[in-house]
Structure 1
Amino acid sequence: MDYLAATAEKKYLMYISQNYSYAILRPLQQEILAHGGEVKWFLEGDEVNPDFLHQEEQRLMSLNDVKEWQPDIVYLPGNIVPNFIPGKKVKVFHGFNSGKRVNNGLDNHFKIRDCFDLYCTQGPSTTTTFTELAQKHGYFQVKETGWPTLDPYFSEVENNPYEDKQDPRKTLLICSTFSRRISLAPKLYEQIKAFSEQGKWRILMQFHPKMPSELVAQYKALQNENLTFVETDNVLPLLKAADVMLCDTSSILLMFILQRKPVVTFCNQNPDEHLVDITDADKIEQAIDYALTEPDELMAKIEHFCQQLHPYQDGLSSQRVLAASNELLLSNPALKPKPRNFIRNLKMRKKLNYWRW
């Protein structure tokens, strides 16, 4: 059966709670609309800015509106969706597994929260574990599709606002996660300040949206002709504009490395051979210089890692996610009922102030 053709006249809800989810789901939205489906958005909470919605994008303003609309499929980059939302729930992930969230030996990337009917995984390094979990639990399916977010990544970006073709210097992108324990931002300020003053590289900086405001202000104050601080809901053009990245354990480094470009990390929690990991702040500059030479041994290790993380470079991951979602909807597989999770859903009702049954 042509499951893409089955999109016509079906309803697809984009359920988001963070600004970065717009860029994650828009390639999928484009594919749905191209195949005759209908898309609407629901924005949960106050951490997602409705001003980022495009003029032509349709928003459902309340949970009553969602229930009345009756979506067939609900897409989530996030971790939790209440069970009173109609439709099959499809997890598309908000990033790659960086290994930074480990509690009591359990990697939170693989935590099953009993919310989803389908997990659309990004590559072999996550598919294997989720498939084992699907066999164990029995109430969800797993399909390896690639990540829709990256579909535009494998096409040319016209008029990239972060490129400067008149500047012959290499471009260094500095990114950091928000957790003070593992963030490079509080630890490397003096080194980055020196980089911004010496002008050896053209520097772009971007932080996780939950970064403490005082750190953001501190780094914004460094801006000059050598360093630009960027705030955006779409990091893909930013990633494509750089030659090398300096990062910590943020999952954004995994998106960057898929370009087959080197990454220097500072005190990465899971350092491996595809990274140039440094624990001495005074050796950061030397490590960046080394990475920019793109040594053959390092680049071979990067290629092997990318094949496990996300082997798809065809820009068709959205098509695969949509086809897998429609197959789930139409084939109605014999899955066990999901756990009721009464307490969690009661908490969600309280959080959303929604008591209609």
Structure 2
Amino acid sequence: MPSQKYLMYISQNYSYAMLRPIQSEILARGGSVKWFLEGKEVSDKYLLNDEIQLNTVEEVNQWGADFVLVPGNVVPSFIKGIKVGLFHGFNSGKRGNDAHFKIRQCFDMYCTQGPNTTQRFLKLSEQYQTFTVKETGWAMLDPLFTAVEKNPYRIQADNRPTILLCSTFSAETSYADELFPTIKKLSQSPEYRWLVQFHPKMSADIVEKYKAIQNENLQFVETDDVIPLLQAADLMICDTSSIMIMFLLQKKPVIAYKNKTTNDSFIHIDNASDLDKTIVQALNSSEQLLNKIDLYCSQTHPYSDGQSSKRVVEACERLKKEGIENIKPKPLNLIRQLKLRKKLKYWKI
């Protein structure tokens, strides 16, 4: 098969880390990659020196990608190429169990993360017949399962347990502010080492509060690549975010604060006063909890080989070779496509 062109279509800064493992695989196979940044919530300052950005839809269509890879929910139909949905996280239950499986009729193929998403999407594929499904694992996690020689968040001489505090940003599901007094108090003790990282959309006021309590035991981290943080920590504390699942897939414990899911592989607590003793419990996890984590991982993301990017690219190439003629045409989605045309200032037919 001739070398393929891949367009990375992103609208959030965290999408860079999601797509770069796939980019490496594409380039290793002799393919070419270019980037298109949609909207005001993504910045080109995170582009690497050798990454090429296309600035307009006209440039994108002139280049003519074979595939458009999207770690998001929507992509315009008027952009050329086979549209591939890659997800921007796991089904964490934040917006209800069905939000992860909402079909917006934008994609020709979904690359699913594991059996518990594949099974649902296969049923939806049978129902709609407008897309195909391939289980590949989530490519963003490839580096998570790859040994790293130097991790900036690991301190060789510091043997204390490392706790990673994360939080989502929405007022309804974020408890970073509520946990602040407890974290401030616990971080004054030298017993643990704390790393704090929040969603990029977190309230600036909350971010500044946590930055203000940094000391020799607590470091606030701003980054577009959370993988080194996940690798460096022994335990995560979080409210409701798919990053909890990413951490859990390392077979490490997660304390879920006021989390509304029924995921019994998390250690659930609802009172900040219980956090101290629960940390001790989590760092000495029972065999029963570890077995639950194992089972959950096998259903959610059973791939720890670091080869999900390879599976994504192979699935794309196979789809191109076999053709998409068996996929039914998608509905016109006139309202959504008009909104996207207006947003991208593109009116050509």
* Alignment TM-score, normalising by the size of structure 1: 0.96
Compute the displacement of 1:165 (Å).
Answer: 1.4
Per the alignment, in what secondary structure is the counterpart of residue 178 of structure 2?
A: coil
Do the aligned residues in 2 keep the contact of 1:180 with 1:186 (CA within 8 Å)? no
Q: Which residue of 1 aligns with 2:327?
A: 335
- Tell me the residue number matched to 2:233: 242
Counterpart in the other structure of 2:281: 290
Q: Deviations over 1:253-305 (max 9, x none)?
A: 00001110000011111032211000111001111110001211111110000
Which whole-Å CA distance do the structure 2 matches of 1:138 and 1:109 have between them? Answer: 18
SS, match of residue 303 in structure 1: helix
- Mapping of residues 164-313 of structure 1, within 5 Å: 164-313=155-304
Mapped contact 1:32–1:39 kept (Cα < 8 A): yes
Cα deviation, residue 222, structure 1: 1.1
Report the equivalent of 1:323. 314
Matches within 5 A, 1:68-87: 68-87=62-81
Report the alpha carbon displacement of residue 58 of structure 1 after superposing the two structures with TM.
1.0
Determine if the alignment matches structure 1 residue 351 to structure 2 residue 343: yes
| Corresponding residue of 1:3 | none
Matched ranges for 1:43-62 at <5 A: 43-62=37-56
Work out the CA distance in 2 between the residues paired with 1:9 and 1:303.
39
- Per-residue deviation, 1:197: 1.3
Deviation at 1:162, TM superposition (A): 0.6
Report the residue type matching 2:26 in the other structure: I
Equivalent-residue separation in structure 1 for 2:104 and 2:59 (angstroms): 25
Does 1:133 pair with 2:124? Answer: yes
Give 1:24's aligned residue. Answer: 18
For normalisation by structure 2, the TM-score amounts to 0.98
Give the letter aligned to residue 101 of structure 1: R
- Secondary structure, in 3 states, of the residue corresponding to 1:186? helix
Q: How big is the shift at 1:109?
A: 0.4
- Structure 2 distance, partners of 1:261, 1:10, is 38
Q: How many angstroms apart in 1 are the aligned matches of 2:317 and 2:27?
A: 14
Tell me which of 55, 58, 65 is aligned to 1:64: 58
Is 8-17 or 108-117 further displaced after alignment?
A: 8-17
**What's the offset of the Cα at 1:196?**
1.5
Q: Which amino acid aligns with 1:266?
A: Y
Q: Distance in 2 between matches of 1:77 and 1:137?
A: 21
1:162-196 deviation digits (Å, cap 9, x = unpaired): 11111121000000001111112121111011012
Choose which of 8, 18, 31 in structure 2 pairs with 1:14: 8
**Cα deviation code 1:55-111 (max 9, x no counterpart):** 111111111100100100000001111110000000111111101112xxx621000
* Paired residue secondary structure (1:100): coil
In the other structure, the counterpart of 2:90 is 96
Percent identity of equivalent pairs: 54
Deviation at 1:336, TM superposition (A): 0.5
Q: Secondary structure at the match of 1:197?
A: coil
Task: Calculate the aligned-residue CA RMSD, in Å.
Answer: 1.0
| CA displacement, residues 132-156 of structure 1 (integer Å, 9 cap, x when unaligned) | 0000000100000001111111111
SS of the residue corresponding to residue 74 of structure 1 reads strand
Quote the residue 2:113 is aligned against: 122
Task: Name structure 2 gaps, 5 residues minimum.
Answer: none
Note the C-alpha offset of 1:306.
0.3
Distance 1:272 1:18 in 2: 27
1:321-350 deviations in whole A, cap 9, x for unaligned?
A: 111111111211411101110111001111
Residue 110 of structure 1 corresponds to 101
Deviating runs (4+, > 4 A) in structure 1? none
Query: How many pairs were matched up?
Result: 348
